[in-house]
Amino acid sequence: MRKVQIMIAIAIFFPLFRLHSQVTTNFSGRNSFSLNGKWNYIVDPYETGYYDYRYKPYDANPDPEGGFFLDQHQINKSQLLEYDFDKCPALIVPGDWNSQDEKLFYYEGTIWYRRLFSFKKADPGHRVFIHFGAANYETDVYLNGKKLGKHIGGFTPFDYEITLLLKEDSENSLVVKVDNKRKREGIPTLNTDWWNYGGITRDVFIVEVPATFITDYSIQLKKGSKAEIAGYVKLNGVTKYQKVKVDIPELKSTTEVTTDADGIGIIRIPVKKIDLWSPENPKLYNVNFSCETDKVSEKIGFRTIETRGTDILLNGKPVFLRGICIHEENPMRGGRAYSKEDAQMLLNWVKELNCNYVRLAHYPHNENMVRLADEMGIMVWEEIPVYWTILWDNQNTYENAQQQLTELISRDKNRASVIIWSMANETPVSDARTSFLKNLAEHARSLDNTRLISAALEVHASKESPFDKIVEDPFAEYVDIITFNEYVGWYDGLPNKCDKVNWLINYNKPVMISEFGADALQGLHGDTLTRWTEEYQADLYRRTLKMLTKISQFRGVTPWILCDVRSPRRMLPNIQDGWNRKGLIGENGTKKNAFYVLKKFYDEMELKYK
Ligand code: GCB
Model confidence pLDDT, tens digit, residues 265-287: 999 999 999 999 999 999 999 99
**Strand blocks (E) in 387-472:** 418-425, 452-457, 460-461, 468-471
Q: What is the DSSP letter of 6?
A: H
Q: How far is the CA of 361 from the centre of ligand 1 (A)?
A: 10
Q: How far is the CA of 193 from the centre of ligand 1 (A)?
A: 6
**Listed residue (150, 155, 140) closest to 412, CA to CA:** 155
Give how far Cα 327 sits from Cα of 2, 264, 338, 580, Å. Answer: 52, 37, 12, 11
**pTM, two decimal places:** 0.95
- How high is the pLDDT of residue 22? 56
- How high is the pLDDT of residue 15? 36
Dihedral, CA of residue 359, residue 362, residue 368 and residue 369, to nearest 10: -10
Our answer on whether the CB atom of 425 is closer than 6 Å to any ligand 1 atom is yes
Q: How far is the CA of 388 from the centre of ligand 1 (A)?
A: 10
Task: Output phi, psi for 302, to 5 deg.
Answer: -125, 130
Our answer on whether the CB atom of 193 is closer than 6 Å to any ligand 1 atom is yes
Could you tell me how many residues make up the chain?
A: 610
Q: Is the peptide bond before 460 cis (omega within 30 degrees of 0)?
A: no
- How high is the pLDDT of residue 46? 97
- How high is the pLDDT of residue 132? 97
Strands 379-383 and 357-360: parallel
Our answer on whether the CB atom of 560 is closer than 6 Å to any ligand 1 atom is yes
Using most ligand atoms within 8 A of CB, pick from 388, 485, 572 the residue to mutate for ligand 1.
485
The ligand 1 atom at the shortest distance from the C-alpha of residue 426 is: 8
- How high is the pLDDT of residue 18? 36
Which residues in the chain come in under a pLDDT of 50?
1-21
- How high is the pLDDT of residue 81? 87
The Cβ-side half-sphere exposure at 297, using a 13 Å CA radius, reads: 10
Our answer on whether the CB atom of 426 is closer than 6 Å to any ligand 1 atom is yes
Whether the Cβ atoms of residue 35 and residue 204 lie closer than 8 Å to each other = yes
Model confidence pLDDT, tens digit, residues 416-459: 999 999 999 999 999 999 999 999 999 999 999 999 999 999 99
Burial class (CB in 10 A: 0-12, 13-18, 19+), 440: buried
